[in-house]
Chains A and B, each alone.
Chain A
């Protein structure tokens, strides 16, 4: 009998593993990182000694609990860190660890692949000193260093205020927070946000803290361009009052998160358009079952819900694995989790309203703006292909290379879709879905192959 495999050791993957172990199953847990925890609860290297409170703030107890869980499970599961899943075929995952390629057959798999920042480029975004919000956070949490001495945070989404707060707390000079969503949107979103009063309170706390410490927080503020010769020297932004200039040496920006869905795609899962995430997501039922019987989905990789939801979804998916494998699982716990996940879902709707997607981004993007940094494809080149009659995103990719480089569209795919939709005057859901192709991340020549 092939093992049950979990891909991803973030909050979803770890809770899934714990649940399986509790029922006597010994899963294989594959982790691309060196230590379990995922991104939001990313652990510092073993020889770093900062406290959990210092690293994770309000979330310290949750982070510690997740880390404790995976440490305690050490003996009861087959944990494989530093392991990239680069390909998947029916009932098998292809992994790469330490220069060695191995095929891993599974009976069932829980895909908990997490998320990355959703990046909407601005001129100058490829300059050294420009980071995504998630990357800025990782630099701080993992390596204990700031991205610069005079830092500006821009974009939207809950991470914007959290990262700005963490930087300021760590002693960095945060010059400003530029939130692209207007205050009115956030007021309108309040009813939805009240579904999670504690989370809402934290968000308000971060913002109030920033203001109380003299850090300007601007709403309805769009990042216009980042300037510099060799690296970031300044930026321009704009709000209703007009254009502003700000000298700085680092910028972190993003507009929320996007799910890492390549593995689900390679596994053959059906996808549907999700308006809330403004993305194609693998289909799943309330327990995390995908369109394929052996494949389960949990956490942000199947739709952005945040770390708390990921823990619950991981446990729920593991219970579904057990149910489907013939274990007698009392329904109460599963129902409870689904109920809680539903509540977080309502909160998510509020968040999307509060941090509204900048619908005018594509129309305002200049032709010379680089969209795909791997292949250096500019907005104008994408538009030119669309004007030649192409509108399906994979065809546009074939013609101008957008999304064809190292990252395979993971960084630029969302922005490219917006440009194509805008130029072809179609909905962003009506231009097809960028198909995943292996390898999910680059694969070196000269690797060893396990027979």
Chain B
């Protein structure tokens, strides 16, 4: 029997950062991961560390995350290839450019410092962008990082601060005995704690449902690919207004591109699929003509949870005291994840998070019947 202050289910960036911050605050923590920490969405995502484009309701939390990211080497002991390259959101029509202008206006005061670029300014500053772009919005302090390194490092660092990290440790049973949660795992562990954190990503719905608050979450599988190393051209991470593809170039020259949806192989594994891959290749040469003739060497996908409003669930359970949720990031959890881990830590250590989590309450789904 393992007695701890908090049991965290899910070793992605949210659960692992919660484990890290709780451990640093002196709490006894057990982090349970079915596979390997950071081996699913948190570790295989595109690697965008971006505030621009998020719903306004996420920006306070995203700003907090921005501060945590600036301290990454001190926090984790690695730089995680994090760089504030800037994030360039392209408009392919004047309508899209207007939408970017509107977002820049409404997000003023959140500290994003967005710069709207017209066609000439865009050409002058980012000559590698294709002619299909008529303008853009640039967020200078957004950037990108290597998720394969950063997300597992949160778990590794939590371990160094005393957290128990159990990998290949699937949870088989969870119950609350009136005082504590009791959790059993497939490899025979039995744990007890007054707090239970549901950070199980695309697989978090089952636990919520068990406590009588099912959510209408579905799994999605973003498609991604990477090129062979190319001469350094892209000096910003990019996206496109209205969706489509996103792309960045890492220091060793490989361009990472994403867009569209792949398909599930089973409950835990996904592939990008031929359709999405060919569509990325097609769109990429329009948006980034220098890629013509380059070669994609690898493709991949992951499994991510999406709620209908594309907003995450963060904070207290509406039905079970002691249960906290942090899941459903709709493919945009990498940047904000550490701040969510911190907010959940604040709830446990000081009764409430410093940033309001009202917009992300699970109770918004309580009245909806889930098919």
A345 interface hit (Cβ, 8 Å): no
**B196-228: which residues lie under 8 A (CB-CB) from chain A?**
227-228
Interface-side segment among B20-28, B119-127, B285-293, B336-344: B285-293
Partner of A445, one of B43, B272, B285, B299: B285
**B273-309: which residues lie under 8 A (CB-CB) from chain A?**
273-274, 277-278, 281-282, 284-285, 291-300
Q: How large is the interface on B (under 10, 10 to 19, 20 to 34, 35 or more residues)?
A: 20 to 34
Known: A87-B274, A87-B277, A89-B274. A398 touches B294 (CB 8 A): no
A residues in contact with B294, CB < 8 Å: 444-445
The main secondary structure of chain B at its interface with chain A is: mixed
B152 interface hit (Cβ, 8 Å): yes
Query: How many residue pairs, one in A and one in B, have C-beta atoms under 8 Å apart?
Result: 80
B residues in contact with A395, CB < 8 Å: 36, 39
A68 interface hit (Cβ, 8 Å): no
B348 interface hit (Cβ, 8 Å): no
* Shortest Cβ distance from A435 into B: residue: B269
* Distance A437 CA – B225 CA, assembled complex (angstroms): 10
A residues in contact with B298, CB < 8 Å: 404, 408, 437, 439
B residues in contact with A87, CB < 8 Å: 274, 277
A400 smallest CB distance to B (angstroms)? 10
* Shortest Cβ distance from A392 into B: residue: B36
Which residue, A87, A101, A438, has most C-beta atoms of chain B within 10 A? A438
A406 interface hit (Cβ, 8 Å): yes
A443 interface hit (Cβ, 8 Å): yes
Question: Are B39 and A438 closer than 8 Å at their CB atoms?
Answer: no
A264 smallest CB distance to B (angstroms)? 15
Partner of A101, one of B263, B278, B284, B297: B278
* Distance A101 CA – B276 CA, assembled complex (angstroms): 13
* Distance A439 CA – B274 CA, assembled complex (angstroms): 9
* Distance A439 CA – B174 CA, assembled complex (angstroms): 41
B353 interface hit (Cβ, 8 Å): no
Question: Are A439 and B299 closer than 8 Å at their CB atoms?
Answer: yes
Question: Are B274 and A103 closer than 8 Å at their CB atoms?
Answer: yes
A337 smallest CB distance to B (angstroms)? 34
A residues in contact with B271, CB < 8 Å: 89, 437-438
A405 interface hit (Cβ, 8 Å): yes
A399 interface hit (Cβ, 8 Å): yes
Partner of A399, one of B148, B227, B282: B148
B359 smallest CB distance to A (angstroms)? 33
* Shortest Cβ distance from A92 into B: residue: B274
A240 interface hit (Cβ, 8 Å): no
Question: Are B295 and A445 closer than 8 Å at their CB atoms?
Answer: yes
Question: Are B300 and A437 closer than 8 Å at their CB atoms?
Answer: yes
* Distance A406 CA – B278 CA, assembled complex (angstroms): 18
A residues in contact with B64, CB < 8 Å: none
A449 interface hit (Cβ, 8 Å): yes
Which residue, B36, B278, B294, B300, has most C-beta atoms of chain A within 10 A? B278
A191 interface hit (Cβ, 8 Å): no
Question: Are A449 and B297 closer than 8 Å at their CB atoms?
Answer: no
Question: Are B291 and A445 closer than 8 Å at their CB atoms?
Answer: yes
B37 smallest CB distance to A (angstroms)? 9
Question: Are A444 and B36 closer than 8 Å at their CB atoms?
Answer: no
* Distance A378 CA – B97 CA, assembled complex (angstroms): 47
**B14-48: which residues lie under 8 A (CB-CB) from chain A?**
36, 39, 43
Question: Are B273 and A89 closer than 8 Å at their CB atoms?
Answer: yes
Question: Are B296 and A399 closer than 8 Å at their CB atoms?
Answer: no
**B341-369: which residues lie under 8 A (CB-CB) from chain A?**
none
A residues in contact with B281, CB < 8 Å: 443-447
* Distance A437 CA – B284 CA, assembled complex (angstroms): 20
> A385-400 toward B: CB 8 Å interface, digit per residue (1/0)?
0001110101100110
Partner of B296, one of A389, A398, A439: A439
Question: Are A442 and B295 closer than 8 Å at their CB atoms?
Answer: yes
* Distance A133 CA – B282 CA, assembled complex (angstroms): 39
A372 smallest CB distance to B (angstroms)? 13
* Shortest Cβ distance from A438 into B: residue: B299
A-B interface, 6 closest residue pairs, ranked by CB to CB distance from nearest: A442-B295, A398-B148, A94-B274, A445-B291, A446-B292, A443-B296
Beyond known contacts A442-B228, A444-B281, A445-B284: 15 more, CB 8 A cutoff: A87-B277, A92-B274, A101-B274, A394-B39, A398-B43, A408-B298, A438-B299, A442-B297, A443-B277, A444-B294, A445-B295, A446-B285, A447-B281, A449-B278, A449-B282
Interface set of B (CB-CB < 8 Å, partner A)? 36, 39, 43, 148-149, 152, 156, 227-228, 263, 265, 271-274, 277-278, 281-282, 284-285, 291-300
12 A-B pairs with C-beta separation under 8 A: A89-B271, A390-B36, A398-B152, A437-B299, A437-B300, A438-B274, A439-B298, A443-B281, A445-B293, A445-B294, A445-B296, A449-B282
